[in-house]
Amino acid sequence: MKKHLLILILLFIAFITLITLCGCSVLDELEDSPPESITVDAALPAVPPVDVPTEAAPAPAPVIYSAKVPEVEPEPVRPVPVAVLSTHTPSLGQAFGFTLVGITPGAAYELIDTHFSEPIVPFVVEDRAIALVPVTTTVALGVHNLAVVEILDGERTELFSLEYDVQAVTFTRQDLTATGAMSALMTNENIIHDRTKREAARSETSPVPLWEGLFVQPLEGRISTQFGQVRYTNGVYSSRHDAYDIAMPTGTPVVAAAAGRVVLAEELYISGKAVIIDHGLWLFTYYYHLSEIDVAEGDMVQAGDLIGKVGSTGYSTGPHLHYAASIKSENINPDYFMQSSLFD
Ligand SMILES: [Zn+2]
Return the pLDDT at 22.
44
User: 253 and 299 share a domain?
Assistant: yes
Q: How far is the CA of 315 from the centre of ligand 1 (A)?
A: 9
Return the pLDDT at 21.
47
- What pTM value is reported for the model? 0.76
Return the pLDDT at 35.
44
Instruction: Select from 121, 149, 166 the last residue of a domain.
Output: 166
User: 323 and 199 share a domain?
Assistant: yes
User: 279 and 320 share a domain?
Assistant: yes
User: 156 and 290 share a domain?
Assistant: no
Q: How far is the CA of 78 from the centre of ligand 1 (A)?
A: 49
At residue 1, does pLDDT exceed 70? Answer: no
Whether the CB-CB separation of 304 and 255 falls below 8 Å is answered with yes
User: 98 and 243 share a domain?
Assistant: no
Return the pLDDT at 112.
96
Instruction: Select from 166, 183, 208 the last residue of a domain.
Output: 166
Instruction: Select from 151, 166, 181 the last residue of a domain.
Output: 166
pLDDT digits (tens, 9 = 90+) for 14-49: 555 544 544 444 444 444 444 444 444 444 455 555
Return the pLDDT at 42.
45
Q: pLDDT higher for 61 or 184?
A: 184
User: Which amino acid is present at 184?
Assistant: A
User: 193 and 292 share a domain?
Assistant: yes
Q: How far is the CA of 38 from the centre of ligand 1 (A)?
A: 129
Q: For residue 72, what pLDDT band results from cuts at 50, 70 and 90?
A: confident
Return the pLDDT at 33.
43
Q: How far is the CA of 151 from the centre of ligand 1 (A)?
A: 41
113 CB neighbour count, 10 Å cutoff: 17
User: 183 and 150 share a domain?
Assistant: no
Q: How far is the CA of 221 from the centre of ligand 1 (A)?
A: 14
Domain that holds residue 187: 173-339
Q: How far is the CA of 171 from the centre of ligand 1 (A)?
A: 15
User: 292 and 270 share a domain?
Assistant: yes
Within a domain: 249: yes
- The stretch 199-221 carries a mean pLDDT of 96
Per the structure, the count of domains in the chain is 2
Q: For residue 320, what pLDDT band results from cuts at 50, 70 and 90?
A: very high
User: 188 and 329 share a domain?
Assistant: yes
Return the pLDDT at 267.
98
Q: How far is the CA of 225 from the centre of ligand 1 (A)?
A: 7
Q: For residue 342, what pLDDT band results from cuts at 50, 70 and 90?
A: confident
Q: How far is the CA of 244 from the centre of ligand 1 (A)?
A: 6
* Integer Cα distance of 286 and 295 in angstroms: 13
List the single range of 116-120, 233-237, 246-250, 287-291 with lowest mean pLDDT: 233-237
Within a domain: 76: no
Q: How far is the CA of 98 from the centre of ligand 1 (A)?
A: 29
CA atoms within 13 A on the CB side of 190: 14
Q: How far is the CA of 77 from the centre of ligand 1 (A)?
A: 53
Nearest to 131 by CA among 116, 153, 144, 141: 116
